[in-house]
Amino acid sequence: MLAKLTSKNQLTLPKAVVSAVGRFEYFDVAVEQGRIVLTPVRPDAARGVREKLESLGIEEGDVEAAIEWAREQPLPQERPPL
């Protein structure tokens, strides 16, 4: 099967390939012995959180300090039902 690379470096996967592996939104891209290898992946939510924290410059120690601070705060008083 042939697939054409566009001027914007976009590639459309042939329908037969998508049917064989299923529909995925993300692919891990690797080069192995001169070949481009696409591996379908399902990114997990934790990865997205870690990437967001990293982009904000928040490190593991910052998260631990925030958790410790929150644990030291008094719990709000329960209000009787109205």
Chain segment 31-72, per-residue pLDDT in tens: 999 999 999 988 787 787 888 888 999 988 898 899 999 888
Tell me: do 34 and 49 sit in the same domain.
no
Do 47 and 36 fall within a single domain? no
Q: What is the span of the domain harbouring residue 19?
A: 13-42
Residue 39's Cα: distance from chain center in Å? 15
Q: Is residue 38 part of a domain?
A: yes
Predicted confidence at residue 60, as pLDDT, reads: 84
Contact 42, 26 (CB under 8 A): yes
Mean pLDDT of 10-37: 92
Question: What does the pLDDT read at residue 47?
Answer: 81
Domain identity same for 38 and 50: no
Query: What's the whole-number mean pLDDT along residues 66-82?
Result: 82
pTM above 0.85, yes or no: no
* Band (8; pLDDT cuts 50, 70, 90): very high
Alpha-carbon torsion, ordered 17, 47, 51, 43, to 10 deg: 20
Q: Answer yes or no: is 66 within a domain.
A: yes
State how many domains the chain has: 2
